[in-house]
Amino acid sequence: MIKIVSTDRIYNDIQVTLDARLKQIYQGTTHFEGDFCLQAEQKLCEMTGRKHAFLTHSGTSAIHLMLMAKGVKAGDKVGCTNFSCPATVMPIMALQAQPVFFDIDRHGQQSVQIDRPIDYLLVTGLYGDSFDYDKISNIDVPVLNDSAQSFGTLYKGVQNVKLGEASIISFSTNKNCPIFGTYGAILCDDDNLAQKIYLMRRNGYKNRDVGTSIQEIGINSQPQEDKAAQVLTSLERFSDWQIKRKNVFDHYDKCFNNEKIAIRPTTSYTTPNYHKYVIFVQDKYKFRDKLLAQDIECQLHYTYNFAKTEVFGDKQKNENFPWTDFYKRHAISIPAHPWLTKNEMDYVVDTIQKNVTEEDKNLCQKL
């Protein structure tokens, strides 16, 4: 089976370093916020150019903390994408704020109508690409960046994760800087915001010992050494993995363009991080099953129209979101991880070429 993510291959790649680090941690006494946390956070600052980095238990909890630290509260209107992983919207709902959904564009990137009244803007780049930041740079509300999928992506030469007052990264197994399970990080430059995030990720108080004052309302997202060691080890391998990802994407682009298969149009202003390779087919559920029967795992990224999803409220249920509908129906991601062999890539290309129909290819005209 050619998997979307091969955890055994990730492990092979990092085993020697990671095993030694985990042994050192489990034989030691520091399990929270020790040297590995510090090293991983410092490395994140170096790699992104951000002043502060904080590891968190997940990308989702990083968004949650980022919104809390910026003061998002019940009833606030938070502009966000209508099409993404549900994790983008959950923290808004958890804070009882109100999401204001914006459609994506033909590239799958969030678009924003800046005349719409909102109190905060949460922006999301999907598939390793970026939203068009210049279009929103004059907006007069705080811009917060769900860059879970955009680590390493450049927007007009600038790191996507540098955009916005704060940004987040996900290190989930299916991301481009994966660990086993999930972890996350928040990045920002402002010292006061950083101090809030620091306290909020440890339930609002400085010390686990009793007797210190509680300064903020927070959650438990205090980082652990063993997860931080995984993050650090993956960060050290990141640039190599990115080169391999680019090779896979270049190979697919060449083959699929030759065959006129409908692939996601990338934005002209982005140097992507090659996170998800997306093609379009008429019926993505059937296509997924067909490929699975031929030992290729695909994923349906994504299957929701948030505005029409009951738990997110019904305020925009009658609005049209044409590109959400298009992606929801047709977009499917294929295996594109850095450990694919040449034979596997050839098999993926060959199988896709054999299984797409003329009707699938005609989707090119709608893009």
Ligand X SMILES: Cc1ncc(COP(=O)(O)O)c(C=O)c1O
Considering the complex, what minimum distance in angstroms separates the CB of residue 57 from ligand X? 8
Q: How far apart are the C-alpha atoms of 93 and 86, rounded to whole Å?
A: 11
Counting contacts by CB under 6 A, is residue 160 touching ligand X?
A: no
Counting contacts by CB under 6 A, is residue 87 touching ligand X?
A: yes
Identify the burial level of 180 via C-beta atoms within 10 angstroms of its C-beta, where 0-12 means exposed, 13-18 middle and 19 or more buried: middle
* Residue in the structure block whose two tokens are 């990802």: 245
**Number of C-beta neighbours around residue 111 at 10 A:** 17
Closer of 85 and 331 to ligand X (Cβ): 85
Q: Is the distance from CB of 230 to CB of 178 less than 8 angstroms? A: no
The correct pick among 48, 167, 170, 224 for binding ligand X (CB under 6 A) is 170
Closer of 92 and 194 to ligand X (Cβ): 92
The correct pick among 6, 130, 160, 182 for binding ligand X (CB under 6 A) is 182
Counting contacts by CB under 6 A, is residue 145 touching ligand X?
A: no
Number of H helices, E strands in the chain: 10, 12
Stretch that binds ligand X, among 55-63, 241-249, 316-324, 345-353 (CB under 6 A): 55-63
Binding characters for ligand X, 251-270, by CB under 6 A (x = yes): --------------------
The correct pick among 88, 145, 167, 224 for binding ligand X (CB under 6 A) is 88
Interface with ligand X (CB under 6 A), residue total 15
- Strands 77-81 and 98-102 come out as parallel
DSSP string, 261-290: --BPPPPTTEE-----EEEE-S-HHHHHHH
The correct pick among 41, 119, 132, 146 for binding ligand X (CB under 6 A) is 146
Q: How far apart are the C-alpha atoms of 119 and 58, rounded to whole Å?
A: 25
Q: Is the distance from CB of 49 to CB of 159 less than 8 angstroms? A: yes
Token reading at 294? 């031929």
Stretch that binds ligand X, among 82-90, 131-139, 230-238, 320-328 (CB under 6 A): 82-90
Counting contacts by CB under 6 A, is residue 60 touching ligand X?
A: yes
Restricted to residues 102-131, the positions that interact with ligand X (CB under 6 A) are 124
Which residues sit at the interface with ligand X, rule CB under 6 A? 58-60, 84-85, 87-88, 124, 146, 148-149, 170, 172, 182, 184
